[in-house]
Amino acid sequence: MLIGVPKEIKNHEYRVGLTPASVRELVHHGHAVLVQAGAGHEIGLEDEQYAAAGAEIVPDAATVFGRAEMVVKVKEPQPAECRMLRAGQVLFTYLHLAPDPEQTRALLASGTVAIAYETVTDERGGLPLLAPMSEVAGRMAVQAGAHCLEKAQGGRGLLLGGVPGVPAAKVVVLGGGVVGTNAARMAMGLEAKVVVIDRSLARLKELDLQFGAKLQTIYSTVDAIEEHVLDADLVIGAVLLPGAAAPKLVTRGMVARMQRGAVVVDVAIDQGGCFETSRPTTHADPTYVVDGVVHYCVANMPGGVARTSTFALNNATLPFVLDLADRGYRAALGRDRHLRNGLNVHAGKITCKAVSEAQGLDYLSAEEALGL
């Protein structure tokens, strides 16, 4: 198979779909790889390294999209990239379609086969291609939140862990999944007072066993969320409904009653955000203020540590890329129901139920679309 890797063009997005080591693995399996010139330059992955691994370096994205049978990316295709997709071409990347009708329409019109990293599953019910970036985003959320709490950034002027004789900040984490667990771990490491709110008692028990008395676990109700959010210094939105729009757990009214200079970091912004006041921001302009509360809602947070993120993502995606290339997408999706769960769009049809429900569009199961 001929696999293409374009340079990412989203604001301050420096990750790249394949590392030179991944390219070498694909070439070892008998495949050909096109890499756009400069695709990995910003994170120290140079064209010479890709060429040495067996890739063909091509001058522009149009060449990549025009020739490749499968395009491997990191972020959702931007409008200019959507226009270059063609019928039958495989796109393997993060999509986050539920809150993005414009991208959905473009992918449907293209006739492409769009497989989303974030809805591929595993035997344990996890999301193996989302997990690495969730780990990164959870850890970054605390870094970003701590920085935003500084007075010069509009925050309350608090040091997250306090100092002897001065209380530590209170950090509330909404969701105890991969993002929430990593955020809680980092916040506790900085000696903040940390509360995790989740609706799964089983998950709260796991967190209690993992972290003990250092972490306060709370069962999620409207009342509990309101109580803890209103006196929090930093609130991290870490909820996830696979493939679907994030639930709005914190209302505008709650935000208006939060402490002046408090900070919210909405990691769920890729799926629409879990605060009613959230809107996507960029690394270039990451924050805004609503009712005195600083909002950090960067939609590609792991892109801020692009080198770490690229290698972590490739560790997870490479086996699936190899399977799609070795077998062809129909056979690969047909034999692996977990990979098949990643199919969001096929030949002009929505094949992810959560996306169809979020946008009120017709749904065709992946099995029907593939004739299984």
Whose CA is closest to 127, among 136, 116, 137, 138?
A: 116
90-93 and 293-296 beta bridge pairing: unpaired
29 is catalytic: no
Beta bridge partners of 365: none
Question: Residue 185 forms beta bridges with which residues?
Answer: none
- Calpha distance 213→190 (Å, rounded): 16
User: E-strand spans in 201-350?
Assistant: 215-219, 234-237, 263-266, 287-290, 293-296, 343-346, 349-350
* Torsion (CA) 328, 333, 339, 343 in degrees, nearest 10: 100
Residue 216, SS3?
A: strand
Residue 264 CB partners (closer than 8 Å, separation 6+):
234, 235, 236, 237, 250, 255, 275, 277, 278, 293, 294, 295, 296
Q: Which residues lie closer than 8 Å to 243 by C-beta, 6 or more apart?
A: 97, 98, 116, 118, 119, 344, 352, 353, 354, 355
Q: Looking at this protein, which amino acid is placed at residue 331?
A: A
SS3 212: helix
CA distances to 51, 174, 292 from 256, in Å: 54, 18, 8
Is there a catalytic annotation at residue 270? yes
Q: How far apart are CA 60 and CA 358, in angstroms?
A: 35
C-alpha distances in Å from residue 43, one per residue of 34, 78, 307, 309: 19, 21, 5, 10
Residue 17's nearest CA partner among 271, 299, 309 is 309
Alpha helices per DSSP H over 260-363: 306-327, 329-335, 337-340, 353-359
Q: Does residue 5 contact residue 16 with C-beta atoms inside 8 Å? A: yes
Active-site residue, selected from the candidate residues 228, 270, 295, 346: 270
Which residues are catalytic, by number?
96, 270
